[in-house]
Structure formats: C-alpha cells, structure tokens
Amino acid sequence: MAETLQFDLVSPERMLTSVAATEVQIPGAEGDFTAMPGHAPFLSTLRPGIVSAVTDQGEVKYVVTGGFAEVTAQSVSLLAERSVPASELTQPTYDEMLADLRKAAGEATGDSADSAGKLVNDMVAVGHQLGLNTAAA
C-alpha cells in the first residue's frame, strides 16, 4: 500500500474514527479539496458535505454539517460538530440537520444571511447525493 496519513474525525462527544488513509476528500468552505500524504500544512473551515477517506478497507464516507479541518503532511484532523457515517444517515436525522440550518438561515441577517443560505443549499446537495428527500422540514 502507498504512503498513508492519519485520518481522525472527532466530534465534541466522541472520537468517530481514527484510521490510516491514503487520501481524504474534504468539503472545505471555499471548495472541496483532497488531502494526501505530504500535503502542505493547511487549516480550513468546513461546509456541509461528505467527507470521504480511502483506507485499506475501502472508501468510508461521513456527512458533516460544519467544523474545521487541520491538515499536515502526516495527518488530517477533522473537528466536526455533527457528523454521521453516510451509510447510517437516516431521513429523520437528515431532516433535523436541514431544519437546524434553515432555522439559522431564517434568523440570520445581512451578510451572514447569504452564507447561511449557502449552507442550506450545501446540505440539500448532500441530500440529493445520498438520495434523501430534501423537501421535508
């Protein structure tokens, strides 16, 4: 197997995963990017999207609603406030995530309203990708 980097995904309540991966795709706030071993040190905030890591056991995907990523040459640490394995994301959980974002967007004003609206759209896109109903909530 090629070179690997340490991929950690942690939420405030627990550590979700900690594995060696060859590449990790991350939905950065200003565009998706892929971190591979030897990546320059990099810090980015996240937008709602799907994180996917290529490991020995194949590709694993997680849905995140936000947070930030710390990338170094040897490791990727994702600090996500809310994160669920994509395969376990159910419609009610998704609805709840979407409703939270919509509510935040509804309350936001001025500049932040635009960015909050963008977050909602990102979340809707995630729903489309996973074949979930995005109309509810």
Partner 1 sequence: MPSLKDLKNRINSVKSTRKITKAMQMVAAAKLRRAQDAAEAARPYAARMEAVVNGLATSVAGSDTAPRLLAGTGADKVHLLVVMTAERGLCGGFNSSIVKLARIRAAELLAQGKTVKILTVGKKGREQLRRDLSAHLVGHVDLSEVKRVGYVNALTIATDVLKRFDEGEFDVATLFYNRFQSVISQIPTTQQIIPAPVPEGAEASTLYDYEPSEEAILEDLLPRSVATQIFTALLENGASEQGARMSAMDNATRNAGDMIDRLTIVYNRSRQAAITKELIEIISGAEAL
Is there binding between residue 111 and partner 1 (CB under 8 A)?
no
Is there binding between residue 19 and partner 1 (CB under 8 A)?
no
Using CB under 8 A as the binding rule, the residues of this chain from 65 to 94 that contact partner 1 are 67-68, 70, 77, 79, 81
Q: Is 62 exposed, middle or buried (0-12, 13-18, 19+ CB in 10 A)?
A: buried
| Smallest gap from residue 76 Cβ to partner 1 (A) | 12
Contacts with partner 1 by CB under 8 A lie at 8, 10-15, 28-30, 40-45, 67-68, 70, 77, 79, 81
